[in-house]
Amino acid sequence: MKRRLISIVVFAAYIVVLIKVMVFKAIPAIRIGHLMINFGGTHYEIGSPNLVPFTTIVPYLLGSHGWIIAGVNLVGNIAPLVPLGFLLPFVFRKMTWKKSLVTAVIAGLTIETLQTILHVGIFDIDDVMLNALGVMMGFWAFLILSKWVRERKYMRILIVAIFVIAASASAFYMIYPWGRPLVNPGVGAGAQSTEGEIPQHGDLCGGTGGTGEIISMRDNAITIKRQDGVIQIITLTPQTDIRNSTGPISESGLKIGDHVTLVIDGTKTASTVLVCSN
């Protein structure tokens, strides 16, 4: 009874964290190599839901958004749901793969629906599929671990545990900012120099394709279509630092079709606009 109670408490705590991360995207900017990427705090203006499977997954797999962005988005929709699938059998003792699959789909649909209702994202059926895959991977991991425990293959469990811990520690070391500024707050997946400095040569977006593409312009504002399909209006001020690979430019140097990386504040006012190389 005590063991089951502990499982329920851990499960409930995980669900709270999962909602915070997956629904409200309460994730700090992270560092990957020379890039800073941010996912959190984004509210959409206009967005069309994606109801066609593989519409966003296939371009990511083909690397059309850049391999770093593709990897972060695919893994970011799978990995957070793995613990859910692993914890389910501890709480629901008669959990089967069929029940796990139903739970996986419900979890993905719930996350996407809440994002839409709360205006923190748009519904994407591909995200539902990736979320469900994460849940099933966790459930399969539980089945394998349970089998090893029954067969007393403790050395195999130890080796896998060491590998998982080492891989997690390596990933944490690579992505944690380590004293660097958490840049690019309040905007979808974008990139920025980890040192808080703007690159002076080459592609200012680091090959990621930027936050999104400019689809319309007016005085002191641009409208972008982000890589996740969300349409967002960004305000520009005389203090906004706008530049391309040749150096600083004026607002008039921006044009429809430009791919840009943005650093914005909570009011959707850009402090920096970096034009990606074509």
Look at residues 119, 141, 175 and tell me which one is the last residue of a structural domain.
Answer: 175
Pair (12, 101) in one structural domain: yes
Pair (188, 166) in one structural domain: no
Pair (196, 228) in one structural domain: yes
Pair (93, 231) in one structural domain: no
Range of the domain at 148: 2-28+53-175
Q: How many angstroms separate the CA atoms of 80 and 16, rounded?
A: 12
For the whole model, what pTM was predicted? 0.64
Dihedral angle over CA of 28, 31, 36, 38, nearest 10: -30
- The answer to the question of residue 97 being in a domain is yes
- The answer to the question of residue 46 being in a domain is no
How does 154-181 read in b/e, with b if 16+ C-beta sit within 10 Å? eeeeeeeeeeeeeeeeeeeeebeeeeee
Could you report the per-residue pLDDT of 209-238, keeping only the tens digit for each?
778 899 999 988 999 988 877 888 888 988
Pair (83, 139) in one structural domain: yes
Could you report the per-residue pLDDT of 74-101, keeping only the tens digit for each?
888 999 999 999 999 999 988 999 999 9
- The answer to the question of residue 62 being in a domain is yes
- The answer to the question of residue 229 being in a domain is yes
Pair (64, 16) in one structural domain: yes
Look at residues 150, 175, 200 and tell me which one is the last residue of a structural domain.
Answer: 175
Point out which residues pair with 225 in neighbouring strands. Answer: 213, 231
- The answer to the question of residue 43 being in a domain is no
Structurally, the chain folds into a number of domains equal to 2
